[in-house]
Amino acid sequence: MEALEVLDIIAGGETSKAQFKLNVTNATSIAQEIVAFANTKGGLIIIGVNDKTGSVEGLSYQDIQRINNLLTTAANEQVKSPISIETETVEVEPEQRIIVARVPEGISKPYKDKDGLVFVKNGSDKRKVTSNEELRRMLQRSGGLYAEEQVLPHCTYADIDWDKFSHFYETTYEEPAEPDQERKFENLRLGQGGKPNLAGALLFTNNPQKSITGFFITAIWFWGNDLEADSYRASDYLRGTLPEQFSQARDFLMRTLHKVQSGDTFNSPGVLEIPKVVLTELLTNALIHRDYFIKDTIKLYIFENRIEIISPGRLPNNLTVEQMKRGIRKKRNDILDSLAPNLLEYKGAGSGVLRALKAYPHIDFINDIEAEQVRVVIHRTAKLEA
């Protein structure tokens, strides 16, 4: 790393990507800093810089040797799982040397210190993670845990609508579901040991909300454009299996939308102001790709000037809005994603957003990382082409 580059970073002060240390003598303390960086986006630990004033004070040859050994010991022995870091000695001024330790973003989150504590970066500081829900989401993002595979303790195979499952199985695989329906159910990763998992319950139980709370759609049709309105034109809780929620949500939307004349004559047929394919693709995406670790409803808000579909959870696995709009996709719920094409109007393969934008480009996608939600805003001000 060049001296000028390091000095530029130091001049910018401590951030979520850069931490300063005057010296390091405690392996436990530096291990916690490494854990925090590995659990977030990675970053630099710059040693030999006063973290209070930002002044470069440098290190002796003996300090450099000792600190390099201490960093290696901390990363290998006091971080669980061990993580590889890179260290470099940079001479920023004649005879004034500092250590730059580069900590990568980890691929086996959550990382812990020797006491089992989990830390993440919070601006220029770090904070301890104490929420089980946050830990589960970290595991999910690293590929170590999936919400849809959680077996439901208060739900059994007696709650499954086996006629519905049989129809799906026979239509999809062109072979009888009987005999041994339960084995075939489990082969599709929908349950085990007589109990459905979350995916199995969301797709095939008689009453999913009896066993799993929060996983439905809150639909509200507002009078104006203000979320804080005191009264609504209509509101409803759209419950049931995912296919049932999808059908109810699309029906709710289609009842609220205007129809526009598709031709120049008075008798020309009216078409929806927003194409049906847009509603289909975006509602399905919300149901299939939401974060099921967050026990909250999908919000469907209809305003005079826009429609908002708000899904719990940020985009998965560092996916960006720009990537999503180019058809790139990263799975969060593999079971739901694989079975949805046979249960909902869903094609997968990352093409849904592309189809929606092609049919109606007046759509904004907001990945709200702080609020842990994805907002899709469909503007109602665009004129349909005849």
Q: Give bridge partners of residue 237 from the DSSP assignment.
A: 218
Structure confidence at residue 264 (pLDDT): 56
Structure confidence at residue 214 (pLDDT): 80
Strands (E), 244-297: 259-261, 270-272
Domain ranges of the chain: 3-130, 147-211, 217-379
Q: Give bridge partners of residue 192 from the DSSP assignment.
A: 195
Tracing tokens 């007589």 back to the chain, one arrives at 194
d(CA 325, CA 335): 23
Residue type, 300: L
Nearest partner of 191 among 152, 226, 245, judged by Cα: 152
Structure confidence at residue 385 (pLDDT): 47
Residue 200 CA to chain centroid, in angstroms? 21
In the chain, alpha helices (H) = 3-11, 27-39, 61-77, 132-141, 162-173, 181-187, 198-204, 208-211, 242-256, 276-289, 321-325, 334-339, 352-359
Each residue's pLDDT, cut to its tens digit, for the chain (386 residues) gives 899 999 999 999 999 999 999 999 999 999 999 999 998 999 999 999 999 999 999 999 999 999 999 999 999 999 998 999 999 999 998 889 999 999 999 877 889 999 999 999 989 999 998 877 777 777 666 655 678 888 888 899 999 999 999 999 999 999 999 889 999 999 999 999 999 999 999 999 988 877 787 899 999 999 999 988 788 999 999 999 999 999 999 999 999 998 776 655 555 557 889 999 999 999 999 999 999 888 899 999 999 999 999 999 988 877 899 998 988 877 888 899 889 888 887 666 567 899 999 999 999 999 998 888 999 999 997 544 43
- Tell whether omega for the bond before 179 is within 30 degrees of 0, i.e. cis: yes
Superfamily of domain 3-130, CATH level 4: Schlafen, AAA domain (3.30.950.30)
Cβ 181 vs Cβ 165: under 8 Å: yes
Strands (E), 71-159: 79-80, 86-93, 96-103, 112-113, 119-122, 125-128
DSSP at 143? T
Q: What share of the chain is helix, strand, coil (3-state, %, to 5)?
A: 35, 25, 40
Cβ 208 vs Cβ 198: under 8 Å: no
Nearest partner of 7 among 121, 98, 86, judged by Cα: 98
d(CA 27, CA 25): 7
- How is domain 217-379 classified at the architecture level of CATH? 2-Layer Sandwich (3.30)
User: 276 in the Ramachandran plot: left (φ > 0), alpha (ψ -120 to 50) or beta?
Assistant: alpha
Nearest partner of 224 among 300, 309, 306, 279, judged by Cα: 306
Structure confidence at residue 263 (pLDDT): 57
Structure confidence at residue 141 (pLDDT): 63
DSSP at 195? E
**Inter-helix orientation angle 276-289/242-256, to 10°:** 140
Structure confidence at residue 341 (pLDDT): 82
